[in-house]
A and B are shown apart, each in its own frame.
Chain A
Amino acid sequence: MNLHLKPSRRDILKGTGALVVAFSLTPPSEAFALAQGEAAAAKPVVLDQVDTFLAIDDKGMVTLYSGKVDLGTGIRIGLQQILAEELDVPLANVNTIEGDTALTPDQGPTYGSLSIQVGGMQIRQAAATARSALLDQAAQRLGAAKEDLAVADGVVTAKSGGGRIAYAELIGGKTFMLKVDPAAPAKSPADYKIVGKPIARRDIPEKLTGKFTYVQDFRVPGMLHGSVVRPPTIGATLQSIDESSVKDIPGIVRVIRDGNFLAVVTETEWAAVRAAREIKTSWSKSETLPDQAKLWEHVRSTKIVKDDVTSNIGDSAAAMAAGGKIVKATYDFAIHTHGSIGPSCAVAEFKDGKLTCWSASQATHNLRKQLAMMMKMPDEDVRCIYIDGAGCYGRNGHEDAAADATLLAKIMEKPVRVQWSRADEHGWDPKGPPTLIDLRANIDASGNVTAWESEFFIPQGAAGMVDLVAATLSDRPVVGKLAPGGIANDSAIGYKFPNIKTVCHRLETTPFRPSWIRTPGRMQNTFANESFFDEIAAALNADPLELRVRYTDPADKRGLEVLDRLAKVAKWEKRASPRKDIKGDVVQGRGVSYVKYELVRTYVGLVADVDVDRTSGDVRVRRVYVVHDCGQIINPNGVRSQIEGSVIQTVSRTLKEEVMFDRGMITSLDWASYPILRFSELPELVIELIDRPTEKPWGAGEPTAALVSSAISNAIFDATGARVRSVPFKPEKVKAALRST
């Protein structure tokens, strides 16, 4: 039969069974036997099988099946580079199928800066296993010793006596039926030709010429459009709908109500927008939110369900009580929204009782479980397929749009596309929760830090499944647990103080559905830690960068090298903060921040130069220096763009962003009310990458972001002597800090 050698993206997106069918019709061979029966018809997605991750057809084209998806981060090319390098095939022959629950493994959601670090290494090992098996087969076929074989561009040659055979001949379209061998030798980095190179992404030319298909561009024949009509306040119940208010909109099909879930279904996207805007409804009154002006009192008095002691070294209580100078401070970090530039969108279709849902979800396997639960279907009858959307930076509204589309498709018995509006996205996507932190330290008479204690007030829960709005509104099954992400991470610190205790008080509730936003918890916690460290440096009249060196484990050579290189690239002047010669209206300062992410991986050091207008409180970040060690770099362009993005996005979050709300609902529902950084506010960036090809590759999507807020706060202190401990650093807050100094 005809194999789709390079399946068209359309076919892949539609999930037509061509690829799957192909395998079952392939004749068996000696080394690679096909499994019997029904299993052959399904492509494996279990993590321990080589076939889960890759397939080679009879033209030598390689398909990479990735559970990790490219959210705009560039990991698609990075993972292809890893595969092509390990298999020794031309990069141009590798194509990727991503985030399809029927075809790709559950490698965990694409989050946590783990796509290369974990996902890529699983792919590397599968490829190494495959290569070894292919060489075994080639050795047999060529009558050569395995050690005598070399591979280039997917062709195996026997170094002595010639003889060549291509992968395409060896496996071409058949399956490996092999478990991934953790001991299969991976290529030595000294031999890398592809990994480590700045290979150009393939999607960028398509995005620049209008050829790319985002999930927002995806269409299915017979599709209808849907817009949701959310309650005006959280918890409000729908009392009445006046359907006649939308009956004259050209293209209106139906108004759908299910409990408090309300939507309009139409023939055109514009009709859906108009109908959702013009429909007359009445809802009950509901006020479930705290007073924003008293948010931190609310957080502090929220019931604590448990304490996570994330580090406990020595006896900090005794050390704190043992005399010396106590430094204490409280930090807080506002509620943020993901702010995806393209609001969430999904398409759902039921066929023969089975559901296919296309969305830009970063966790299609989880979404599948949630949709199955919501619709009371078996997981096997649900298929979720990833199509790129706009950047989501975490769990935004994609999954909720998928649930909305699913509900509507079920009721309408036709495929339905749901496009969220700007207000839907800003108002209803889950939020990064508010974080409140108390810190204390003890400095003895000789200027040593003897103790460090910190308490973090953060919601309970971990990374998991965030309840779907459609399910909650229509009273359908939900998981029912808070899932804010791994937000206790980086509450512990890497500095070598003799007595340390860091405790996360896990709160029973938090305003709004929480979920993870880029660098969740690690950003807020590092903000507090690295700013407070600076307060200690000021109390000691010590240079903040030198103090960090002093308290870093001397055996941590890589960390010390980052700090050393940072000092050089930023031309750091050794002195205490604040600077002595503060005068004039607009003053300048610089701040440093440093982390070994989660205490176990990527090292980042960052210096920020800022201008502060002492009369208005305006802060302007002029320049940011970053030194970054993530071990083996797969694609330096990818790492660099993630660092740039982390810095610019987090400067925005630090200086400007907070979700605004009244007692009933979020009020910052668009860019006018939730302003983000613009071109006029752009800092200059100086980035130094450290590439260590012989080390493990660590994540790069988030770690830099953890440092930005503290570096800016430290720079403001350096410039003015005033400490700003509350994100965002809006001018009124900076002014107040300046006045109180």
Chain B
Amino acid sequence: MTLRRVVLTVVVVGILVALGGYALMWRPAIAPVATSAKAHVDRKAIDHGAELASIGNCADCHTSANGAAYAGGRPIPTPFGTIYASNLTPDGETGIGSWSEEAFKRAMRDGVDREGRQLYPAFPYDHFTHATDADIHAIYAFLMSKPAVRNAVPANDLASPFSFRPIVAGWKLLFLHRDALEPDSTKSAEWNRGRYLVEGLGHCGSCHTPRNALGGEKRDRAYAGGVVEGWNAPPLNASLVTTHKWTVDQLAEYLSTGWHRLHGAAAGPMADVAKNLGRASQDDVRAIATYIASLSPGAEGAKALVPAGGKVLTDQPADVVAIYNGACAKCHNDRHDVGPSQAISLSYSTAVQQPQSANAVRVVMHGIESYRTDGGPYMPAFAGILTDAQIASVVQYVRARYTDQPQWTDVKSQIAKARQEGVQP
């Protein structure tokens, strides 16, 4: 087969997939409804919807920095360009105020907006498609009860051909699996509830599952880890790397408070997830923890703990030891006690144990500031305090002292990337 025939075949297949997909995925517009027609006073539905939205972490993507809640406008970077999250407040013109519940349900299930246009899968409807009618009803009631905010979200910034929405139909054909989640009768009710939430509204796989070149999740490597805005979303499955296996209790505490004394703090994008889960039903959080813990049943298990004070290193330059003693050791102690700012001993830290330095570098540079208002783990942002070279040496010092793992080789490039990413929320 000549190269020309190969290319022609790929192009023809691609067009057929796109056309077929479009044919299968095309949806008509749904008539707009007057915003005032929806007088949602069902408090129970609204309250339940609020808790489900906490699990869905909707506010995180659909709120811009310094913007009103759910009013959209936040840029979501993807490998294909930047997508701007839409305004979910009930504003008639710039939000979803004119959307009926049918239109909302269709968006959640099929990834199509009220007017019938394809929605980009940055909106994880490949997960939300599993949500029940009752749950979608509650979330709709909750969103409609929010104050309407007028905010016209910027147009997406996608390169050709990705800006041509109908090709999403092709993507859906390949990656939108709407097979129902059948309950597993061999597992507990709690496990099944957890699975429903994790695979559905929780959309954990959107971050924690690696994606292929077309941006679809690799189903055969579910929960093997992913990268989000520079941060590693660690594996949750058997390739789990940590000093301690996560038990259900530990996960439940971590997910709802953003911290566990044997693992560390939820930082970066996970911080908002944890803060939202803190407001969800705690029974549901426990169910999520039950399911997630089951994903790594026979994991290699805890790496042997390096002793509490770390290893005794004799070959470290004095200046990096001085930085560690003067900056880090104020909070990170060597007695396995919880230190100030809820700092843990670094021999426990998941970030320090990972194969890449991405999370350790970002935590040092950006700090942990998400829990400031209501209290929780905290770390100063050292990007403005130490130089890049100093950050690199400290990060490598910590790796050498508190793990038995090989030294990271990506530290300098991660620091450069993190500088470009700017301050985390």
Contacts and interface: CB of A to CB of B under 8 A. Distances in A.
Contacts of B324: none
Nearest to B47: A615
Interface in A253-286: 274, 277
B268 to A, nearest CB: 18
Contacts of B147: 584-586
A669 interface: yes
Contacts of A673: 342, 375
Contact of A678 (B50, B325, B373): B373
Contacts of B329: 277
A585 B330 CA distance: 43
B373 A680 contact: yes
Contacts of A163: none
Contacts of B304: none
Contacts of A656: 374-375
A670 B342 CA distance: 9
A583 interface: yes
Interface in B347-389: 371-378
Interface in B5-62: 41, 43, 46-47, 49-50
Given A615-B142, A672-B376, A585 B46 contact: yes
B340 A422 contact: yes
Interface of B: 41, 43, 46-47, 49-50, 142, 145-147, 279, 325, 329-330, 333, 340-342, 371-378
A296 interface: no
A694 interface: no
A209 B146 CA distance: 48
A694 to B, nearest CB: 47
A277 B326 CA distance: 12
22 contacts: A274-B325, A277-B329, A585-B46, A585-B142, A585-B145, A585-B146, A614-B43, A614-B46, A615-B47, A615-B49, A616-B50, A671-B378, A672-B372, A672-B375, A672-B376, A672-B377, A673-B342, A674-B375, A675-B374, A678-B373, A731-B279, A731-B374
Q: Which 8 A-B pairs have the closest CB atoms?
A: A615-B50, A675-B375, A672-B378, A585-B145, A672-B341, A670-B340, A585-B146, A673-B375
Q: How large is the interface on A (under 10, 10 to 19, 20 to 34, 35 or more residues)?
A: 20 to 34
A474 to B, nearest CB: 25
A584 B145 contact: yes
Contacts of A586: 147
A681 interface: yes
Contacts of B46: 585, 614-615
B8 to A, nearest CB: 56
A739 B47 contact: yes
A681 B373 contact: yes
Contacts of B146: 585
Nearest to B333: A277
Contacts of A680: 373
Given A672-B340, A672-B342, 12 more contacts: A422-B340, A423-B340, A583-B41, A585-B142, A614-B46, A614-B47, A672-B376, A672-B378, A678-B373, A680-B373, A681-B373, A739-B47
A584 B147 CA distance: 7
Nearest to B340: A670
B145 A675 contact: no
A5 to B, nearest CB: 46
B233 to A, nearest CB: 25
Nearest to A674: B375
B144 to A, nearest CB: 9
Interface of A: 274, 277, 422-423, 583-586, 614-616, 656, 669-675, 678, 680-681, 731, 739
A580 to B, nearest CB: 14
A86 B375 CA distance: 50
Contacts of B47: 614-615, 739
Contacts of B333: 277
Contacts of A678: 372-373
A719 B145 CA distance: 16
Contact of A669 (B43, B50, B145, B340): B340
A32 to B, nearest CB: 59
Contacts of B376: 672
A675 B325 contact: no
Contacts of B372: 672, 675, 678
Of A616, A672, A674, the most chain B CB neighbours within 10 A belong to A672
A132 to B, nearest CB: 58
A674 B341 CA distance: 10
Contacts of A423: 340
A680 to B, nearest CB: 7
Nearest to A675: B375
A194 B290 CA distance: 71
Contacts of B371: 672
Nearest to B338: A667
A247 to B, nearest CB: 16
Contacts of B142: 585, 615
Contacts of B330: 277
A37 B351 CA distance: 76
A616 B373 contact: no
Contacts of B341: 670, 672
Contacts of A583: 41
Contacts of A675: 372-375
A184 B371 CA distance: 60
A586 B377 CA distance: 28
Contacts of B279: 616, 731
A389 to B, nearest CB: 21
Nearest to A280: B335
A656 B50 CA distance: 22
A147 to B, nearest CB: 65
A278 to B, nearest CB: 8
A680 B66 CA distance: 11
B52 to A, nearest CB: 11
A671 B373 CA distance: 10
Contacts of A731: 279, 374
B189 to A, nearest CB: 24
Nearest to A583: B41
Nearest to B49: A615
Nearest to B329: A277
Contacts of B41: 583
A276 B330 CA distance: 11
Contacts of A674: 375
Contacts of B378: 671-672
A683 to B, nearest CB: 15
A678 B371 CA distance: 13
A14 B373 CA distance: 42
A106 B253 CA distance: 53
A16 to B, nearest CB: 38
A673 B343 CA distance: 11
A586 B50 CA distance: 13
A704 B50 CA distance: 37
Nearest to A739: B47
Contacts of A615: 46-47, 49-50, 142, 145
A277 B325 CA distance: 11
Nearest to A673: B375
Contacts of A671: 378
A430 to B, nearest CB: 21
A675 B329 CA distance: 22
A674 B340 CA distance: 11
Contacts of B325: 274
Nearest to B50: A615
Contacts of A681: 373
Nearest to B341: A672
Of B49, B330, B333, the most chain A CB neighbours within 10 A belong to B330
A58 B329 CA distance: 57
A583 B41 CA distance: 8
A655 to B, nearest CB: 10
Of A584, A585, A614, A674, the most chain B CB neighbours within 10 A belong to A585
Of B330, B340, B371, the most chain A CB neighbours within 10 A belong to B340
Nearest to B51: A615
Contacts of B50: 615-616
Nearest to A422: B340
